[in-house]
C-alpha cells in the first residue's frame, strides 16, 4: 500500500519517529512531504533530519510560508502523480489551502484520503476557507481528531463520515525518559550554562516549555510562583512575542533571580531539558478563537517522569488523566495551591512521576499512534467503513 503524507509538522525531528514506526508495518510504502522550513511567531524552524529510516522524506518548496491558512506546495500535484498513492494522509486542518490542494490532487489519482484536525472550537470561516472546508469534508474518507472535543465540533458542522480520536504524534519512550546523569558532552549548552547554579536537593525546579504567547498563560504561572513559599526555581523555555513583557513581569514581581528564560533547543535535546525539571506547568487559558488542543509537552514531560500540572483548558485534563494535577484556568491562587502540595509532599511527586510515565506507555507512544493510524489505512484499503460514528 502506497501512502503519501503531507505534514509541515514533521520538520521537527522528534515527530519523524512516527513516520519510521508507520513505515515499519508490513505492506506500507510511505512517502512524507515536508517543507524545508516553517515560520511562525517563534521564528524559523528549519527541517531536522533525525528519524528518516524506512521511508522517503521529500522536501518540497512551500508558498506563503508562515501563513497557516494560505500556505501550499507548488510541486505537490507533480509529487502525487509520481507516487500514485493509494492513500493521501493530510496533516492539516480541513479549512487550509494546503489541505484543499492535497485533497484535489488525491481525487485526480483516485486515492483514499485521511485528514487530521486539532480543531476543538466550533468556528465559522469566511469564503474561500468555508468553501475549502466544505469540499474537504465532503470528499475525505475519514477524519482523525486529536481530541475528543473535536468529534463534537465536526459533527455539529455537519460531517457524518468516519472519525477516530488519535493524537497527531506520540512519544518515543526510549528517547523521552529520565536522564539521571547525562554526560557533559551530551548536554545542551543551555544546561551547561546553568551548571554553576544547581538547585539544592530540597529545591523544586518548575518548568514551562512552549510558545510565549498570551493564550499559554505564562503570566498566570509567574503570579503563582511569586507568592509560593519554599525553595523553588522556574525555567521557561520558548520564544514568542510575550518574552519581553514576561521578563519585565518577573522583575517587578521580585522573582527575577529565581527565573530563567531559555531559548528553544533542537527537539533531539529536549529529554535532557525535561530531566532537569521536577514539575512542568501548562497554564493555558481559553480565548474566543483558541483553547488547548492537546499539550504535547505534557506527554513528553510525563515520559521523562516529570510531574505535570495543567489548567483545566481544552484537552489538558483529557491528556493528564489521573497522572498529574489540574487547576482552574487563569487562577494563579489555585495553581499555587497545587504547586505547594508538590513542594510539601515528595511522596506525591514520586507517585505522580511514575503514574505519568506509565500513562504515556499505556496510551501515547509513537508506536501506538502509528499502529492505530496504519489500522485506519488498512480499513480504507479494504473498504471497511466501520469507524466511530
Mean pLDDT, rounded, for 39-52 = 88
Of 299, 295, 289, 288, residue with least CA distance to 311: 295
- pLDDT exceeds 50 at position 207: yes
Q: What is the pLDDT of residue 168?
A: 92
- Please name each of the domains of the chain with its CATH number: 2-170+365-382 (3.40.50.2000), 184-363 (3.40.50.2000)
Q: What is the pLDDT of residue 194?
A: 42
Q: What is the pLDDT of residue 244?
A: 97
pLDDT > 90: percent of the chain: 86
Least confident of 35-49, 57-71, 299-313: 35-49
Q: What is the 3-state secondary structure (H, E, C) of 157-180?
A: CCCCCCEEECCCCCECCCCCCCCC
Q: What is the pLDDT of residue 107?
A: 96
- pLDDT exceeds 80 at position 186: no
Residue 371 CA, chain-centre distance (Å), reads 18
Q: What is the pLDDT of residue 71?
A: 97
Summarised one tens digit per residue, pLDDT across range 308-319 is: 999 999 999 999
How far apart, in whole angstroms, are the C-alpha atoms of residue 293 and residue 263? Answer: 24
Summarised one tens digit per residue, pLDDT across range 283-304 is: 999 999 899 999 999 999 999 9
Summarised one tens digit per residue, pLDDT across range 104-121 is: 999 999 999 999 999 998
Mean pLDDT, rounded, for 79-91 = 98
Summarised one tens digit per residue, pLDDT across range 332-381 is: 999 999 999 999 999 999 999 999 999 999 999 999 999 999 999 999 99
Q: What is the pLDDT of residue 387?
A: 47
Summarised one tens digit per residue, pLDDT across range 266-287 is: 888 999 999 999 999 999 999 9
Q: Give the global pTM.
A: 0.86
**Rounded to whole angstroms, what are the CA distances from 236 to 240, 275, 282, 386?**
12, 14, 11, 45
- pLDDT exceeds 80 at position 145: yes
Q: What is the pLDDT of residue 185?
A: 42
- pLDDT exceeds 60 at position 79: yes
How far apart, in whole angstroms, are the C-alpha atoms of residue 311 and residue 41? Answer: 23
Mean pLDDT, rounded, for 261-267 = 91
- pLDDT exceeds 50 at position 201: no
- pLDDT exceeds 70 at position 200: no
Of 85, 80, 98, residue with least CA distance to 136: 98
Mean pLDDT, rounded, for 164-172 = 94
Mean pLDDT of the chain: 92
Per the DSSP assignment, residues forming a β-bridge with 34 are 59
- pLDDT exceeds 60 at position 386: no
Q: Which residues contact 132 (CB under 8 A, 6 or more apart)?
A: 94, 95, 96, 97, 99, 100
Mean pLDDT, rounded, for 82-89 = 98
Q: What is the pLDDT of residue 267?
A: 84
Query: How do beta strands 2-6 and 87-90 pair?
Result: parallel
Amino acid at each position: 500500500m502506497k501512502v503519501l503524507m503531507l505534514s509541515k509538522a514533521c520538520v521537527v525531528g522528534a515527530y519523524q519517529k512516527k513516520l519510521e514506526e508507520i513505515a515499519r508495518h508490513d505492506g506500507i510504502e510511505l512517502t512524507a512531504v515536508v517543507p524545508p522550513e516553517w515560520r511562525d511567531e517563534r521564528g524559523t524552524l528549519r527541517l531536522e533530519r533525525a528519524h528518516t529510516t524506512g521511508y522517503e522524506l521529500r522536501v518540497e518548496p512551500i508558498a506563503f510560508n508562515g501563513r497557516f491558512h494560505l500556505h501550499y506546495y507548488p510541486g505537490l500535484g507533480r509529487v502525487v502523480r509520481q507516487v500514485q498513492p493509494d492513500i493521501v494522509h493530510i496533516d492539516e486542518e480541513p479549512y487550509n489551502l494546503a489541505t484543499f490542494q492535497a485533497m484535489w490532487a488525491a481525487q485526480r489519482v483516485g486515492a483514499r484520503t485521511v485528514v487530521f484536525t486539532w480543531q476543538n472550537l466550533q468556528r465559522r470561516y469566511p469564503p474561500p476557507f468555508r468553501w475549502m472546508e466544505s469540499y474537504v469534508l465532503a470528499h475525505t474518507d475519514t477524519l482523525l481528531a486529536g481530541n475528543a472535543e473535536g468529534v463534537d465540533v465536526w459533527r455539529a458542522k455537519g460531517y457524518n463520515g468516519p472519525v477516530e480520536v488519535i493524537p497527531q504524534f506520540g512519544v518515543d519512550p526510549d528517547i523521552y525518559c529520565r536522564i539521571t546523569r547525562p554526560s557533559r558532552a551530551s548536554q545542551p549548552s543551555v544546561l551547561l550554562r546553568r551548571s554553576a547554579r544547581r538547585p539544592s536537593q530540597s529545591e523544586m525546579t518548575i518548568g514551562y516549555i512552549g510558545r510565549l504567547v498570551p493564550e499559554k498563560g505564562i503570566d498566570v504561572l509567574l503570579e503563582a510562583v511569586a507568592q509560593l513559599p519554599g525553595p523553588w526555581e522556574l525555567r521557561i523555555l520558548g520564544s514568542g512575542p510575550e518574552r519581553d513583557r514576561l521578563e519585565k513581569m518577573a522583575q517587578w514581581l521580585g522573582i527575577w533571580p529565581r527565573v530563567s528564560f531559555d531559548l528553544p533547543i533542537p527537539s533531539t535535546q529536549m529529554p535532557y531539558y525535561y530531566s532537569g525539571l521536577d514539575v512542568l506547568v501548562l497554564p493555558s487559558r481559553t480565548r474566543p478563537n483558541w483553547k488547548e488542543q492537546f499539550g504535547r509537552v505534557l506527554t513528553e514531560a510525563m515520559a521523562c517522569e516529570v510531574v505535570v500540572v495543567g489548567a483545566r483548558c481544552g484537552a489538558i485534563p483529557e491528556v493528564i488523566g489521573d497522572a498529574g494535577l489540574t487547576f482552574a484556568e487563569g487562577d494563579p491562587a489555585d495553581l499555587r495551591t497545587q504547586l505547594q502540595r508538590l513542594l510539601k509532599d515528595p511522596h506525591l511527586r514520586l507517585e505522580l512521576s511514575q503514574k505519568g510515565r506509565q500513562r504515556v506507555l499505556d496510551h501515547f507512544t509513537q508506536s501506538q499512534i502509528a499502529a492505530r493510524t496504519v489500522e485506519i489505512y488498512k480499513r480504507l484499503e479494504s473498504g471497511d467503513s466501520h469507524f466511530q460514528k
